[in-house]
Amino acid sequence: AVVMTDAQFAPLTAALVRTLTDKLYEKRKTAALNIETQVKELFAANQLSQLDKLVGVLRELALAPNGQTRKGGLIGLAAAAIALGKNSGPYTIFLIEPVLACFNDPDLQVRYYACESLYNIIKICKTHSLELFDQLFDVLWKLSADTDQNVRSGAELLDRLLMDIVVSKEDFDVAQLMSLIRDRLYVQTSSNRKFVVSWLNTMLTTPRFTLLPYLSEVMDGLFRMLGDQQAGVRDVTETVLGQFLLGVEKAPDTIETADLSQMLNVLVVHSHEDESPMARKIALVWLDDLTRLLGTKLLFHLAPLLTAALPSIDNDSLKARAMNTKLLELVTQTADLDVDKVVEVLLKHIGHSKRETKVAVLNWIQHLYTTHPEKLFAHMERIFPILLKTLSDSSDEVLLLDLHLLSGVCQHKQNALSIDALELDEESKRQLEGVVSPFLVKFSLSLLQMMRDDRALLHDRGVIIIRQLCLLLSPSLIYRALCVLIAREKSLTFARQIVQLLNGVLLTATELFVLRDQLRRLEDEESRSLFSCLYRSWCIRPVSLLGLCLLSQNYAHAEKLVTHFSQVDITVDILVEIDKLVNLLESPILSFVRMDLLSTQHQR
């Protein structure tokens, strides 16, 4: 056994050290009380060199390789701090540093007693302890994830005490704390995360401290914590983000431009559909609030804001719809808008799986078309084909909005497209040039191509597309464009299907009342020219042509047509068409034909 001598431990005795390092806690406690008395006496007698030696001995004990010896050193250091009381300031570092080393001990009892010792020392040294704040914070952060519950509980008490001391210090260096927090934000362990967020919570609830300048640095880490497995971590993180948001609401203009950009990037990332539900919800709350608070200042960031809002616009529990509405309002208030980036985002989302997102995108394009027509039209070569493709969407709401937009484009005054660019034959060009706008011709060509490639579009949506177009544009221009283009169609079967579609709409749709009336009267050159155009195309569908002749009151010609029907191969398709025409003759729309046929003027 090692022989212990008084000289080794002076001014302590070897006997006292033996008691101090005993296995029994009660003996160690008795020895600690003796040390407390001795420290008080040395300090009172101003024997400061002896006091330094005594603290040095305790330090050596706390750093000894033997666990039992370390426990003695720990309780002895705490006793020395208690004895020094308000005079402990100059000794703070010497008292705390050896205790910090004990937290790396594999023996959980040593770590637990280190918590107890440090608690007592810090309680006495108070703000002097903050000289070692970095080391204390790091140790407590590690202890928050200790394997032993007792050690973690002891560390929590210690943590609260340190927080109280920080809050009490008028000139505490917040930047120092935020640097320590920033370095630990991305650790995945739940208990470590909770430790960091608790510190932020404490600082945010102390009015004297201002954390807003650091928000952009910690925001991403906090949002990641909203996806933590433990509800406790998620809840306190939500509280902290709520407190930060309150701070932003009180002083929105204090956010630096660079910080705002960084914050918006973080919020857009965490509003993504793949993020945790809580992170997504809170990110959109933030974005909605910032849109309300900062107004047109945020329009520089319109493209990323739309990236966040558009995919979530269908969800009533999220703030995306409210935010989208505010952004639409803000766009009307500014002429200086980066439409290029916005168009990129809109075109990316127009093919989204959600109907509500597609509707929102089309509303945005329409809105920009109204508020910034020149800027939007600069992108029309890219937008137009995508709008055409959207015609095949299964939603009627999407289809109607799409047609509304397309019709506006076809009528645009600053239409730079030349009809020569459409590669038409000379006859088609002659019939259309100066009468139908080049974009309407381009649209008609594209529509026919789409219906040729997708017969389901022709059969399922053909009627609604033609009717809606006639509501939005001049029906005579639409019919003229389509009929001229059908004449150059290589597939006779497809051309007949288009004629059947156009004829059916012409003879039944309320939207074409004026056009029917023009064709019935044929009073001016325009209506006669249109009739001639329709007639040439309708020739490939005899029954449709008969209907056109009856509509235009060309009864004598209709009679001649009927006499030629014997030469037509009467298929089931044609019989069905004849049946439909007969039924139409009994409808109110063609009531004038019935009256004419009863008149002696039209009988022989």
The DSSP annotation for 129-189 comes to: GGGGHHHHHHHHHHHTT-S-HHHHHHHHHHHHHHHHHHHH-TT--HHHHHHHHHTTTT---
Q: Are 267 and 283 in contact (CB under 8 A)?
A: yes
3-state class (DSSP) for residue 451: helix
Integer-rounded Cα Rg, in Å, for the chain is 42
Name residues whose C-beta falls within 8 Å of residue 285's C-beta, 6 or more positions apart in sequence: 245, 319
Check residue 368 and give its pLDDT. 95
Closest-CA residue to 520 (of 507, 509, 533, 538):
507
**Tokens at 562, concatenated:** 């009927």
3-state class (DSSP) for residue 294: helix
Closest-CA residue to 100 (of 73, 123, 124):
73
Q: Are 18 and 4 in contact (CB under 8 A)?
A: yes
258, amino acid identity: A
Q: Are 115 and 162 in contact (CB under 8 A)?
A: no
Q: Are 32 and 78 in contact (CB under 8 A)?
A: yes
230, amino acid identity: Q
Closest-CA residue to 82 (of 25, 38, 127, 113):
38
Can you tell me the distance from the alpha carbon of 467 to that of 502, in angstroms, rounded to the nearest whole number? 9
Check residue 557 and give its pLDDT. 92
Can you tell me the distance from the alpha carbon of 285 to that of 246, in angstroms, rounded to the nearest whole number? 12
Name residues whose C-beta falls within 8 Å of residue 263's C-beta, 6 or more positions apart in sequence: 215, 216, 219, 255, 290
Cα-flanking dihedrals φ and ψ of residue 208, to 5°? -65, -30
Check residue 9 and give its pLDDT. 82
Can you tell me the distance from the alpha carbon of 523 to that of 517, in angstroms, rounded to the nearest whole number? 10
160-165 contacts, C-beta under 8 A, 24 or more apart = 161/119, 161/122, 161/123, 162/122, 162/129, 162/136, 162/137, 163/198, 163/199, 163/202, 165/122, 165/126, 165/127, 165/129, 165/130
Check residue 414 and give its pLDDT. 59
Check residue 2 and give its pLDDT. 47
**Tokens at 346, concatenated:** 């809109």
Q: Are 447 and 465 in contact (CB under 8 A)?
A: yes
Can you tell me the distance from the alpha carbon of 52 to that of 69, in angstroms, rounded to the nearest whole number? 20
What single DSSP character describes residue 457? I
3-state class (DSSP) for residue 68: helix
Angle (nearest 5°) at CA 72 between 67 and 77:
125
251, amino acid identity: A
Q: Are 226 and 238 in contact (CB under 8 A)?
A: yes
**Tokens at 434, concatenated:** 């100066």
Name residues whose C-beta falls within 8 Å of residue 25's C-beta, 6 or more positions apart in sequence: none
Distance set, CA 505 to CA 208, 407, 460, 547 (Å): 74, 18, 14, 12
Q: Are 470 and 431 in contact (CB under 8 A)?
A: no
Spell out, as residue ranges, where the chain has pLDDT lower than 50: 1-2
Q: Are 280 and 270 in contact (CB under 8 A)?
A: yes
The Cβ-side half-sphere exposure at 497, using a 13 Å CA radius, reads 18
Check residue 603 and give its pLDDT. 66
What's the longest Cα–Cα distance across the chain? 146
Q: Are 18 and 33 in contact (CB under 8 A)?
A: no
Q: Phi/psi zone of residue 423: left (φ > 0), alpha (ψ -120 to 50 degrees), beta?
A: left
Check residue 415 and give its pLDDT. 59
What single DSSP character describes residue 461? I
Closest-CA residue to 226 (of 278, 302, 264):
278
- Tell me the whole-structure pTM to 2 decimals: 0.85
Can you tell me the distance from the alpha carbon of 444 to that of 213, in angstroms, rounded to the nearest whole number? 57
Can you tell me the distance from the alpha carbon of 598 to that of 602, in angstroms, rounded to the nearest whole number? 8
* Segment 357-379, tens digit of pLDDT: 999 999 999 999 999 998 998 99
Can you tell me the distance from the alpha carbon of 239 to that of 563, in angstroms, rounded to the nearest whole number? 86
